Protein backbone atom coordinates (compact mmCIF):
# COMPACT_ATOMS: atom_id res chain seq x y z
CA UNK A 1 0.00 0.00 0.00
CA UNK A 2 2.78 2.44 0.92
CA UNK A 3 6.38 2.16 -0.16
CA UNK A 4 8.97 4.56 1.19
CA UNK A 5 12.32 4.74 -0.57
CA UNK A 6 15.37 6.68 0.58
CA UNK A 7 13.22 9.28 2.27
CA UNK A 8 15.15 12.32 3.46
CA UNK A 9 14.22 15.43 5.34
CA UNK A 10 16.61 18.16 6.34
CA UNK A 11 15.86 21.38 8.18
CA UNK A 12 18.54 23.87 7.25
CA UNK A 13 21.71 21.91 7.88
CA UNK A 14 20.04 19.36 10.16
CA UNK A 15 19.46 15.95 8.56
CA UNK A 16 16.50 14.60 10.51
CA UNK A 17 15.58 11.74 8.18
CA UNK A 18 18.65 10.40 6.45
CA UNK A 19 17.53 7.39 4.49
CA UNK A 20 14.23 5.87 5.50
CA UNK A 21 13.09 2.77 3.65
CA UNK A 22 9.94 0.86 4.49
CA UNK A 23 6.77 -0.69 3.21
CA UNK A 24 3.38 -0.74 4.86
CA UNK A 25 0.90 -3.34 3.65
CA UNK A 26 -2.85 -3.04 3.82
CA UNK A 27 -4.20 -4.15 7.19
CA UNK A 28 -0.87 -3.79 8.95
CA UNK A 29 -0.45 -2.10 12.29
CA UNK A 30 3.00 -0.57 12.51
CA UNK A 31 4.28 0.87 15.77
CA UNK A 32 7.10 3.34 15.50
CA UNK A 33 9.25 3.55 18.60
CA UNK A 34 12.55 5.15 19.44
CA UNK A 35 14.21 7.89 21.49
CA UNK A 36 12.78 11.38 21.19
CA UNK A 37 14.24 13.65 18.56
CA UNK A 38 14.95 10.81 16.14
CA UNK A 39 12.46 11.95 13.53
CA UNK A 40 9.39 9.82 14.29
CA UNK A 41 6.98 12.75 14.01
CA UNK A 42 8.83 14.09 10.99
CA UNK A 43 8.48 10.70 9.33
CA UNK A 44 4.69 10.65 9.84
CA UNK A 45 4.39 14.25 8.72
CA UNK A 46 6.33 13.49 5.56
CA UNK A 47 4.06 10.53 4.85
CA UNK A 48 0.99 12.71 4.48
CA UNK A 49 2.95 15.69 3.20
CA UNK A 50 2.43 17.96 6.15
CA UNK A 51 6.18 18.29 5.61
CA UNK A 52 7.76 18.24 2.20
CA UNK A 53 10.50 15.57 2.08
CA UNK A 54 13.83 16.81 0.75
CA UNK A 55 14.61 13.53 -0.98
CA UNK A 56 13.41 10.03 -1.78
CA UNK A 57 10.08 8.64 -2.89
CA UNK A 58 6.77 7.79 -1.28
CA UNK A 59 4.50 5.55 -3.32
CA UNK A 60 0.88 5.18 -2.25
CA UNK A 61 -0.92 2.47 -4.20
CA UNK A 62 1.77 2.87 -6.83
CA UNK A 63 1.30 6.61 -7.12
CA UNK A 64 4.29 8.86 -6.46
CA UNK A 65 3.30 11.30 -3.75
CA UNK A 66 6.02 13.74 -4.63
CA UNK A 67 5.27 13.94 -8.31
CA UNK A 68 3.97 17.39 -9.29
CA UNK A 69 1.05 15.71 -11.06
CA UNK A 70 -0.24 14.05 -7.89
CA UNK A 71 -3.43 15.40 -6.39
CA UNK A 72 -2.14 15.93 -2.88
CA UNK A 73 -5.44 16.71 -1.21
CA UNK A 74 -6.96 13.48 -2.51
CA UNK A 75 -3.99 11.45 -1.23
CA UNK A 76 -4.13 13.25 2.08
CA UNK A 77 -7.78 12.28 2.46
CA UNK A 78 -6.72 8.65 2.30
CA UNK A 79 -4.45 9.24 5.28
CA UNK A 80 -6.01 10.34 8.52
CA UNK A 81 -3.82 11.74 11.21
CA UNK A 82 -4.35 11.84 14.95
CA UNK A 83 -2.10 14.08 17.00
CA UNK A 84 -1.05 14.26 20.61
CA UNK A 85 -3.23 17.34 21.07
CA UNK A 86 -6.70 16.61 19.83
CA UNK A 87 -7.24 19.71 17.67
CA UNK A 88 -11.03 19.63 17.86
CA UNK A 89 -12.83 22.80 16.83
CA UNK A 90 -13.75 24.18 20.24
CA UNK A 91 -16.65 26.32 18.99
CA UNK A 92 -18.37 23.38 17.28
CA UNK A 93 -20.40 20.59 18.87
CA UNK A 94 -19.02 17.06 18.67
CA UNK A 95 -21.41 16.19 15.84
CA UNK A 96 -20.44 19.34 13.94
CA UNK A 97 -16.79 18.42 14.38
CA UNK A 98 -17.55 15.02 12.86
CA UNK A 99 -19.62 16.36 9.94
CA UNK A 100 -17.53 19.31 8.85
CA UNK A 101 -14.96 17.59 6.64
CA UNK A 102 -17.23 14.88 5.17
CA UNK A 103 -19.74 17.57 4.05
CA UNK A 104 -17.09 19.96 2.78
CA UNK A 105 -14.58 17.61 1.26
CA UNK A 106 -16.48 14.39 0.52
CA UNK A 107 -19.64 16.32 -0.47
CA UNK A 108 -21.82 14.18 1.75
CA UNK A 109 -25.27 15.47 2.70
CA UNK A 110 -25.56 16.63 6.28
CA UNK A 111 -27.99 13.77 7.03
CA UNK A 112 -25.61 11.21 5.62
CA UNK A 113 -22.67 12.70 7.52
CA UNK A 114 -24.69 12.64 10.75
CA UNK A 115 -25.72 9.04 10.23
CA UNK A 116 -22.09 8.04 9.82
CA UNK A 117 -21.19 10.35 12.71
CA UNK A 118 -23.54 8.48 15.03
CA UNK A 119 -22.08 5.13 13.96
CA UNK A 120 -18.61 6.40 14.71
CA UNK A 121 -19.62 7.82 18.08
CA UNK A 122 -20.94 4.39 18.92
CA UNK A 123 -17.69 2.83 17.78
CA UNK A 124 -15.66 5.02 20.14
CA UNK A 125 -18.21 4.64 22.94
CA UNK A 126 -19.44 8.23 23.00
CA UNK A 127 -22.92 8.13 21.43
CA UNK A 128 -24.37 10.30 24.13
CA UNK A 129 -21.94 13.13 23.47
CA UNK A 130 -23.15 14.10 19.98
CA UNK A 131 -24.46 17.46 21.14
CA UNK A 132 -21.78 18.17 23.73
CA UNK A 133 -19.08 20.78 23.21
CA UNK A 134 -15.41 19.70 23.25
CA UNK A 135 -14.80 21.61 26.49
CA UNK A 136 -17.26 19.31 28.24
CA UNK A 137 -15.19 16.23 27.49
CA UNK A 138 -12.19 14.74 29.25
CA UNK A 139 -8.87 14.41 27.43
CA UNK A 140 -9.46 10.73 26.75
CA UNK A 141 -12.92 11.44 25.36
CA UNK A 142 -11.59 14.25 23.16
CA UNK A 143 -8.98 11.95 21.73
CA UNK A 144 -11.62 9.31 21.00
CA UNK A 145 -13.62 12.00 19.16
CA UNK A 146 -10.49 12.98 17.24
CA UNK A 147 -10.20 9.35 16.14
CA UNK A 148 -13.89 9.28 15.13
CA UNK A 149 -13.42 12.50 13.18
CA UNK A 150 -10.53 10.95 11.37
CA UNK A 151 -12.59 7.83 10.55
CA UNK A 152 -15.40 10.01 9.21
CA UNK A 153 -13.20 10.66 6.18
CA UNK A 154 -13.00 6.92 5.44
CA UNK A 155 -9.19 6.90 5.44
CA UNK A 156 -7.23 3.97 4.11
CA UNK A 157 -4.58 4.43 6.74
CA UNK A 158 -4.47 6.32 10.02
CA UNK A 159 -1.25 7.87 11.27
CA UNK A 160 -1.12 8.36 15.02
CA UNK A 161 1.51 10.62 16.56
CA UNK A 162 1.74 9.76 20.25
CA UNK A 163 -2.03 9.69 20.70
CA UNK A 164 -1.83 9.13 24.45
CA UNK A 165 1.12 11.31 25.43
CA UNK A 166 -0.93 14.34 26.44
CA UNK A 167 -3.37 12.31 28.50
CA UNK A 168 -3.69 11.80 32.18
CA UNK A 169 -2.49 8.22 32.88
CA UNK A 170 -6.02 7.18 33.89
CA UNK A 171 -7.29 7.98 30.39
CA UNK A 172 -4.65 6.21 28.38
CA UNK A 173 -6.38 2.84 28.29
CA UNK A 174 -9.69 4.10 26.86
CA UNK A 175 -7.86 5.56 23.86
CA UNK A 176 -5.64 2.51 23.41
CA UNK A 177 -8.80 0.41 23.62
CA UNK A 178 -10.31 2.23 20.65
CA UNK A 179 -7.11 1.85 18.62
CA UNK A 180 -6.99 -1.80 19.53
CA UNK A 181 -10.57 -2.18 18.28
CA UNK A 182 -9.62 -0.60 14.96
CA UNK A 183 -6.69 -2.99 14.66
CA UNK A 184 -9.05 -5.93 15.12
CA UNK A 185 -11.21 -4.60 12.31
CA UNK A 186 -8.20 -4.60 10.01
CA UNK A 187 -7.61 -0.85 9.84
CA UNK A 188 -4.16 0.00 8.48
CA UNK A 189 -2.33 2.13 11.04
CA UNK A 190 1.07 3.58 11.79
CA UNK A 191 1.40 4.58 15.43
CA UNK A 192 4.21 6.52 17.04
CA UNK A 193 3.99 5.53 20.68
CA UNK A 194 5.83 5.27 23.96
CA UNK A 195 3.46 2.59 25.16
CA UNK A 196 5.76 -0.36 24.72
CA UNK A 197 3.38 -3.01 25.99
CA UNK A 198 0.66 -1.74 23.72
CA UNK A 199 3.03 -1.63 20.74
CA UNK A 200 4.10 -5.13 21.41
CA UNK A 201 0.58 -6.36 21.72
CA UNK A 202 -1.19 -4.66 18.87
CA UNK A 203 1.40 -4.40 16.09
CA UNK A 204 2.14 -6.60 13.16
CA UNK A 205 5.53 -4.93 12.86
CA UNK A 206 7.65 -2.51 14.84
CA UNK A 207 9.91 0.15 13.37
CA UNK A 208 12.66 1.17 15.75
CA UNK A 209 13.80 4.63 14.67
CA UNK A 210 17.15 6.07 15.63
CA UNK A 211 19.82 8.18 13.94
CA UNK A 212 17.42 9.36 11.25
CA UNK A 213 16.82 5.81 10.05
CA UNK A 214 14.53 2.93 10.62
CA UNK A 215 17.36 1.41 12.53
CA UNK A 216 15.73 -1.97 12.95
CA UNK A 217 12.37 -3.40 12.06
CA UNK A 218 10.69 -6.67 12.75
CA UNK A 219 7.82 -8.42 14.44
CA UNK A 220 7.15 -7.47 18.05
CA UNK A 221 8.72 -10.76 19.05
CA UNK A 222 11.90 -9.99 17.09
CA UNK A 223 12.23 -6.43 18.32
CA UNK A 224 11.33 -7.00 21.96
CA UNK A 225 12.82 -10.44 22.51
CA UNK A 226 15.68 -10.74 20.04
CA UNK A 227 16.75 -7.30 18.84
CA UNK A 228 19.73 -7.57 16.53
CA UNK A 229 21.15 -4.12 17.07
CA UNK A 230 22.76 -2.92 20.25
CA UNK A 231 20.90 0.41 20.13
CA UNK A 232 17.57 -1.35 19.88
CA UNK A 233 18.47 -3.61 22.75
CA UNK A 234 19.44 -0.71 24.97
CA UNK A 235 16.25 1.17 24.14
CA UNK A 236 13.99 -1.82 24.73
CA UNK A 237 15.63 -2.74 28.03
CA UNK A 238 16.10 0.74 29.30
CA UNK A 239 15.43 1.32 32.92
CA UNK A 240 14.42 4.70 34.13
CA UNK A 241 15.05 5.93 37.58
CA UNK A 242 14.45 8.74 39.95
CA UNK A 243 16.92 9.66 42.69
CA UNK A 244 16.54 11.68 45.80
CA UNK A 245 18.90 12.31 48.67
CA UNK A 246 17.18 12.56 52.01
CA UNK A 247 19.31 14.54 54.42
CA UNK A 248 17.64 13.74 57.69
CA UNK A 249 14.30 13.14 59.38
CA UNK A 250 13.16 16.67 58.53
CA UNK A 251 12.85 15.97 54.81
CA UNK A 252 9.86 17.35 52.92
CA UNK A 253 7.53 14.36 52.54
CA UNK A 254 5.06 16.21 50.30
CA UNK A 255 7.72 17.40 47.90
CA UNK A 256 9.15 13.88 47.72
CA UNK A 257 5.71 12.39 47.05
CA UNK A 258 5.05 14.94 44.32
CA UNK A 259 8.32 14.07 42.62
CA UNK A 260 7.66 10.35 42.85
CA UNK A 261 4.20 10.91 41.38
CA UNK A 262 5.59 12.98 38.52
CA UNK A 263 8.10 10.28 37.70
CA UNK A 264 5.43 7.56 37.74
CA UNK A 265 2.98 9.62 35.68
CA UNK A 266 5.63 10.26 33.07
CA UNK A 267 6.06 6.53 32.84
CA UNK A 268 2.32 6.00 32.46
CA UNK A 269 1.95 3.96 35.61
CA UNK A 270 -1.65 3.44 36.67
CA UNK A 271 -2.97 5.56 39.51
CA UNK A 272 -3.47 2.52 41.72
CA UNK A 273 0.18 1.58 41.30
CA UNK A 274 1.22 5.14 42.04
CA UNK A 275 -0.77 5.19 45.25
CA UNK A 276 0.65 1.87 46.35
CA UNK A 277 4.18 3.04 45.72
CA UNK A 278 3.62 6.21 47.72
CA UNK A 279 2.30 4.13 50.57
CA UNK A 280 5.29 1.82 50.29
CA UNK A 281 7.72 4.75 50.33
CA UNK A 282 6.01 6.28 53.32
CA UNK A 283 6.07 3.06 55.32
CA UNK A 284 9.64 2.31 54.32
CA UNK A 285 10.82 5.74 55.39
CA UNK A 286 8.83 5.36 58.58
CA UNK A 287 10.79 2.31 59.70
CA UNK A 288 14.14 3.53 58.47
CA UNK A 289 16.43 5.51 60.74
CA UNK A 290 16.92 8.84 58.95
CA UNK A 291 19.34 10.72 61.22
CA UNK A 292 22.28 10.12 58.92
CA UNK A 293 20.26 10.54 55.78
CA UNK A 294 19.87 8.09 52.93
CA UNK A 295 19.60 7.84 49.17
CA UNK A 296 16.30 6.85 47.65
CA UNK A 297 15.99 5.47 44.14
CA UNK A 298 12.84 4.51 42.30
CA UNK A 299 13.61 2.29 39.36
CA UNK A 300 11.23 1.35 36.59
CA UNK A 301 11.97 -1.33 34.02
CA UNK A 302 9.47 -0.67 31.30
CA UNK A 303 9.82 -3.96 29.53
CA UNK A 304 9.19 -6.14 32.55
CA UNK A 305 6.98 -3.71 34.45
CA UNK A 306 9.16 -3.95 37.56
CA UNK A 307 9.01 -0.97 39.88
CA UNK A 308 11.57 -1.09 42.63
CA UNK A 309 12.14 1.24 45.52
CA UNK A 310 15.66 1.19 46.80
CA UNK A 311 16.98 2.81 49.95
CA UNK A 312 20.69 3.13 50.42
CA UNK A 313 21.43 3.67 54.08
CA UNK A 314 24.37 5.53 55.42
CA UNK A 315 27.33 3.60 56.68
CA UNK A 316 26.92 2.07 60.06
CA UNK A 317 23.18 2.56 60.17
CA UNK A 318 21.35 -0.53 61.18
CA UNK A 319 19.05 -1.80 58.47
CA UNK A 320 15.37 -1.31 59.03
CA UNK A 321 14.49 -4.82 57.94
CA UNK A 322 16.75 -6.30 60.58
CA UNK A 323 15.63 -3.92 63.23
CA UNK A 324 11.95 -4.11 62.35
CA UNK A 325 10.84 -1.56 64.93
CA UNK A 326 7.30 -1.37 63.68
CA UNK A 327 5.58 -4.68 62.91
CA UNK A 328 2.57 -2.95 61.30
CA UNK A 329 4.71 -1.02 58.82
CA UNK A 330 6.71 -4.14 58.12
CA UNK A 331 3.60 -6.14 57.34
CA UNK A 332 2.26 -3.39 55.06
CA UNK A 333 5.56 -3.41 53.20
CA UNK A 334 5.56 -7.18 52.89
CA UNK A 335 1.98 -7.04 51.63
CA UNK A 336 2.79 -4.48 48.94
CA UNK A 337 5.94 -6.15 47.67
CA UNK A 338 6.57 -9.22 45.60
CA UNK A 339 10.16 -9.12 46.76
CA UNK A 340 12.15 -7.41 49.45
CA UNK A 341 15.84 -7.80 49.85
CA UNK A 342 18.75 -6.44 51.71
CA UNK A 343 22.40 -6.42 50.87
CA UNK A 344 25.62 -4.68 51.69
CA UNK A 345 27.14 -2.67 48.86
CA UNK A 346 30.57 -1.15 48.68
CA UNK A 347 30.38 2.54 48.01
CA UNK A 348 33.30 4.99 47.73
CA UNK A 349 32.56 6.24 51.23
CA UNK A 350 32.46 2.72 52.66
CA UNK A 351 29.94 -0.13 52.89
CA UNK A 352 26.24 0.79 52.87
CA UNK A 353 23.08 -1.19 53.36
CA UNK A 354 20.74 -1.47 50.42
CA UNK A 355 17.07 -2.23 51.00
CA UNK A 356 15.20 -3.22 47.85
CA UNK A 357 11.45 -3.40 47.63
CA UNK A 358 9.73 -4.47 44.44
CA UNK A 359 6.09 -3.50 44.20
CA UNK A 360 3.86 -6.38 43.22
CA UNK A 361 0.98 -6.75 40.81
CA UNK A 362 1.89 -3.96 38.36
CA UNK A 363 1.71 -5.98 35.19
CA UNK A 364 -1.96 -6.79 35.77
CA UNK A 365 -2.78 -3.11 36.16
CA UNK A 366 -0.89 -1.74 33.20
CA UNK A 367 -2.88 -0.10 30.48
CA UNK A 368 -3.09 -2.90 27.99
P1 LIG B 1 10.55 12.68 17.40
O2 LIG B 1 9.12 12.74 16.97
O3 LIG B 1 11.21 11.35 17.13
O4 LIG B 1 10.76 13.09 18.82
P5 LIG B 1 10.87 14.90 15.57
O6 LIG B 1 10.52 14.33 14.25
O7 LIG B 1 9.82 15.70 16.25
O8 LIG B 1 11.39 13.72 16.51
O9 LIG B 1 12.14 15.81 15.45
C10 LIG B 1 13.37 15.33 14.98
C11 LIG B 1 14.36 16.46 14.92
O12 LIG B 1 13.95 17.40 13.94
C13 LIG B 1 14.51 17.23 16.22
O14 LIG B 1 15.85 17.51 16.41
C15 LIG B 1 13.73 18.49 15.97
O16 LIG B 1 14.27 19.55 16.70
C17 LIG B 1 13.89 18.70 14.48
N18 LIG B 1 12.74 19.38 13.87
C19 LIG B 1 11.47 18.92 13.82
N20 LIG B 1 10.66 19.78 13.17
C21 LIG B 1 11.44 20.84 12.82
C22 LIG B 1 11.20 22.09 12.13
N23 LIG B 1 9.98 22.39 11.67
N24 LIG B 1 12.25 22.91 11.97
C25 LIG B 1 13.48 22.59 12.41
N26 LIG B 1 13.77 21.46 13.06
C27 LIG B 1 12.78 20.58 13.28
MG1 LIG C 1 7.42 13.24 18.05
Using one digit for the tens of pLDDT, what is the confidence trace for 185-238? 999 999 999 888 889 989 999 999 999 999 999 999 999 999 999 999 999 988
Could you say which DSSP state residue 191 is in?
A: E
CB neighbour burial string for 206-227, b if at least 16 within 10 angstroms, e if fewer: bbbbbebbbbbbbebeebbeeb
Q: Could you tell me if 63 and 76 are in contact, meaning their C-beta atoms sit under 8 angstroms apart?
A: no
Report the chain's mean pLDDT, rounded to a whole number.
Answer: 91
Q: 368: pLDDT confidence band, cut at 50, 70 and 90? A: very low
Q: 290: pLDDT confidence band, cut at 50, 70 and 90? A: confident
Which ligand is the nearest neighbour of the Cα of 33?
1
- CB of 11 sitting under 6 A from ligand 1: yes
**Mean pLDDT throughout 280-299?**
90
- CB of 42 sitting under 6 A from ligand 1: yes
Q: Of 278, 350, 342, give the one whose Cα is nearest residue 307.
A: 278
Which ligand is the nearest neighbour of the Cα of 46?
1
- pLDDT(251) > 80: yes
Give ion ligand 2 contacts, CB < 5 A: 41
Closest ligand 1 atom to 192 CA: 2
| 82 Cβ contact partners less than 8 Å away, ≥ 6 residues apart | 143, 146, 147, 150, 158, 159, 160, 161, 163
Could you say which DSSP state residue 100 is in?
A: H
- CB of 38 sitting under 6 A from ligand 1: yes
Could you say which DSSP state residue 137 is in?
A: S
In order of 68, 166, 229, 301, 347, the CA distances from 233 in angstroms are 41, 27, 6, 13, 29
Beta bridge partners of 294: 246, 313
More confident: 345 or 157: 157
Q: Rounding to the nearest 10 degrees, give the CA dihedral for residues 233, 237, 242, 243.
A: -80
Alpha helices in the chain (DSSP H): 40-47, 72-78, 94-105, 110-123, 139-151, 172-184, 196-202, 220-225, 230-236, 253-266, 271-287, 320-323, 327-336, 362-365
**DSSP reduced 3-state for 193:** coil
CA of 43 to the centre of ligand 1 (A): 10
**DSSP letter for each residue of 138-176:** -HHHHHHHHHHHHHTT--SEEEEESTTTTS-GGGHHHHH
CA of 21 to the centre of ligand 1 (A): 19
| 105 Cβ contact partners less than 8 Å away, ≥ 6 residues apart | 73, 77, 153
- CB of 40 sitting under 6 A from ligand 1: yes
Q: Of 123, 127, 136, 63, give the one whose Cα is nearest residue 93.
A: 136
Amino acid sequence: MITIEHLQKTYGGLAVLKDVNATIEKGEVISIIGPSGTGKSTFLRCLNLLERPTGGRILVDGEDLLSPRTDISRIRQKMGMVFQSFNLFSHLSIMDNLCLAPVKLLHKSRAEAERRGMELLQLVGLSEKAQAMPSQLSGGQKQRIAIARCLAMDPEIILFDEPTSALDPTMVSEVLGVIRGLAKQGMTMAIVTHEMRFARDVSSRIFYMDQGLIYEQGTPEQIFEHPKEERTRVFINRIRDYHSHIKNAHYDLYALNAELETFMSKNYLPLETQNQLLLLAEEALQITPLEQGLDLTLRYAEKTGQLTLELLLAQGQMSAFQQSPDPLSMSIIQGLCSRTGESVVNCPEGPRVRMEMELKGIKEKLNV
